[in-house]
Amino acid sequence: MSTATRRSSLTDWTLLVPLVALVALVLSWGRDLAPLAVALVAVCLAGAVLAAVHHAEVVAHRVGEPFGSLVLAVAVTVIEVALIVTLMADGGPKASSLARDTVFAAVMITCNGIVGLSLLVGALHNRVAEFNAEGSGAALATVATLATLSLVLPTFTTSKPGPEFSTAQLAFAAVASLALYGLFIAVQTVRHRDYFLPVETEPRPGAHVGRNGPKGQNGPKDQNGQNGRDGQKGDGDGDGAGDGDDDHAAPPTARAALISLGLLMVALVAVVGDAKAVSPTIEKGVADAGLPNAVVGVIIALLVLLPETLAAVRAARRGRVQTSLNLGYGSAIASIGLTIPAIALASIWLSGPLLLGLGPVHMVLLALTVVVSALTIAPGRATLLQGGVHLVLLAAYLFLAVSP
């Protein structure tokens, strides 16, 4: 997206969609909706999600990497938490496992779906996808620890029957999640920021080249470890120009970033309200189809992570696989690190149990995902095979969610 397009987008669909979605929220609030009305509200909901992530991208482009990935991850997680709490408030007894199902779905989609697609696309475009093993390894370790503390331990604790934390245990999990999330953010953005910057490499033999010559050479690094203006990564035409406007375009103005921040807030409010309006239809549709209630959590996670998946794939196509991994693992960390404290607070006024512990099948999938991810991250480079392995793990999870 060019700078001109990015600025003009503030006056087209990205401005109108959040406002239309907000109007749909006002008109549908507290009413029983006909099927056509539900469909229209669902369209507004999907548009608001896309608009929210677009405006998060504008803000991210202003603040730079890795802050950009952080903005996107937090924006997506706020949407996810809002949807979870909204559906739990109206879902009755069946909503007791909704938080677990949605968070676990987000972990599987990010660690296998986003990561797998990014590695696949990166390897297709440069034979080998290269990234920073130190930063990605630290992110993976954080994901594994948060997932184990919040989703595995409740299955084995004995203070309360079933896969449920006691009040004290839930409070500890919430505080630990917030602490780990805060520590990760500090490491990513301050102390070891260079570990999370994209790795710029020379094209490998057999890598994609343009019609007029090989990719341009990388320029000298600046003091922050990023490429200088005089040697941007080539696009395959031999002129040394970048292959995507987002990589090297001038950031939006402070005014444009503030407008996008305001529209982001409007879009998030619309997402929460519209989700509340369509939530009975989602649950009824899953029940009528004879599917497990856990499919509701999968639908939520797929909905909120789809725009971020597209952003990660775009980054991988430009050779910025580290940015893609920042998006994937950052979303997983934010999903657990922010959702668990949020539902811990919400449990004060929400009635019914809060089931967080995973079953045996999901624990096996989680353990396999962590082991495979560690083997993928350790070398700092991956081929098509690693991407394919992660995508097969995601396919196994989705199939078992529908047919447990």
At 364, the pLDDT band (50, 70, 90 cuts) reads very high
Average pLDDT, the chain: 80
Q: Are 301 and 398 in contact (CB under 8 A)?
A: no
Per-residue pLDDT at 382 exceeds 70 = yes
Strongest mean pLDDT among 38-52, 136-150, 188-202: 136-150
* For range 68-81, the mean pLDDT: 74
Query: Which pLDDT does position 215 carry in this prediction?
Result: 42
The amino acid at residue 71 is V
Of 96, 51, 36, 33, the closest CA to residue 269 belongs to 51
Query: Which pLDDT does position 202 carry in this prediction?
Result: 57
At 205, the pLDDT band (50, 70, 90 cuts) reads low
Instruction: Give me the percent of the chain exceeding a pLDDT of 90.
Output: 31
* For range 194-203, the mean pLDDT: 75
DSSP helix/strand/coil, 224:
coil
Q: Are 123 and 383 in contact (CB under 8 A)?
A: yes
Query: Which pLDDT does position 386 carry in this prediction?
Result: 94
Q: Are 402 and 377 in contact (CB under 8 A)?
A: no
373 alpha carbon, distance to own chain's centre: 17
Of 352, 301, 293, 330, the closest CA to residue 104 belongs to 301
Query: Which pLDDT does position 192 carry in this prediction?
Result: 86
Q: Are 24 and 266 in contact (CB under 8 A)?
A: no
Tokens 């990023």 correspond to: 226
The pLDDT tens digits for 301-315 are 887 787 778 888 888
Per-residue pLDDT at 377 exceeds 90 = yes
Q: Are 239 and 215 in contact (CB under 8 A)?
A: no
User: Bridge partners of 210?
Assistant: 213
Of 233, 181, 244, 239, the closest CA to residue 213 belongs to 239
At 367, the pLDDT band (50, 70, 90 cuts) reads very high
User: How far, in Å, are 212, 348, 353 from residue 69 at the CA level?
Assistant: 33, 32, 34
Query: Which pLDDT does position 240 carry in this prediction?
Result: 36
* Tokens describing residue 41: 């509200």
H helix or E strand, kind and range, residue 382:
strand 381-382
